[in-house]
A = this chain, B = another copy of it.
Amino acid sequence: MEKQTVTIYDVAREAAVSMATVSRVVNGNPNVKPATRKKVLEVIDRLDYRPNAVARGLASKKTTTVGVIIPDVTNAYFSSLARGIDDIAMMYKYNIILTNSDENGGKEVQVLNTLMAKQVDGIIFMGNQVTDELREEFKRSKAPVVLAGSVDAEKAQPSVNIDYVAAVAEAVKNLIDHGNQKIAFVSGPMDQAINHDYRLKGYKKALKDAGISYDDKLVFETDYTYKAGQSLEPALTAAGATAAFVGDDELAAGVMNGLTDAGVDVPGEFEVITSNDTKLTELVRPKMSSITQPLYDIGAVAMRLLTKLMNNETVDENTVILPYGLMKRSSTK
């Protein structure tokens, strides 16, 4: 009843050659006489032979699949990177094992281990924080690991990012240039390196450059959800803020809509600038000004870098920094 699978052995027999020869033609090895190649190809076609990738993986120690750890596919920022990753992966004949981590350290470690057990040829990690434990796991992995749109303070792993500090500083400076003195810093969990080591640093830098003193009452730490942003309005108003830099687009949309719904005019009375330049920025009204990041490219470049690493090619620069920009839309003056 079970469908019979045809193996390389069957092909060899039918074509009256050895398995080695069949293997050669399947893998495009040039050391095969054209006539034999043709004969084998015909049999392969006739028998509808499909090489078993698992067996191939065991024998060759290469699985042509890479693991991708993503906080949440549902998040526009990360799914954009994921798309870039998958496209390039496909281009280089790799497949992607995608797993959501919810940025949960324990889950990340566990997932990483199952990926390694599955003998992936490489790993791309996305997440706002690289814990010590995770870093250790990365080190013992024999498959190369590259971080995409994710920072590691230790810079131990190859990665591709933008210059978050500079980008945020520029965004905040923009707000300052518009005359704002009390600028809120709204971000996700402050225990994530991306927030406290990069974004906050850029925020402080901009303030300092402008001679504005830092006030931690203007720092709002929440989780990355629309709702969280939406319910921030009272606090924002109470703190006397007239503008905000927000670390995530969905969160920013929440902040902005919360403000608007409460009757605060954006950007008239309150300016908002966000970080990720996902589609969302264009959908909301007013459209959100944002730091621009080459989302797709961050993923694509990360994957490309990974292919080089997997191929043992020497790469000139392990940590690549892509250019960012500032896109003025309608949530700032």
Contact = CB atoms under 8 A, between A and B. Distances in A.
Nearest to A225: B279
Interface stretch (A109-117, A170-178, A182-190, A319-327): A109-117
A74 B76 CA distance: 7
Interface in A192-218: none
Contacts of A98: 82, 86, 96-98
A63 interface: yes
A145 B74 CA distance: 23
A55 B58 contact: yes
A45 interface: no
* This chain's copy number in the assembly: 2
A2 interface: yes
A99 interface: yes
Interface stretch (A14-22, A46-54, A148-156): A46-54
A242 interface: no
Interface size class of A (residues with CB under 8 A): 35 or more
A142 interface: yes
A134 interface: no
Contacts of A57: 54
A83 interface: yes
A308 interface: no
Given A3-B140, A73-B86, A253-B283, 6 more contacts: A2-B142, A52-B119, A54-B57, A90-B99, A97-B97, A284-B285
9 contacts: A50-B113, A52-B58, A53-B114, A53-B118, A55-B58, A73-B73, A74-B82, A95-B99, A253-B283
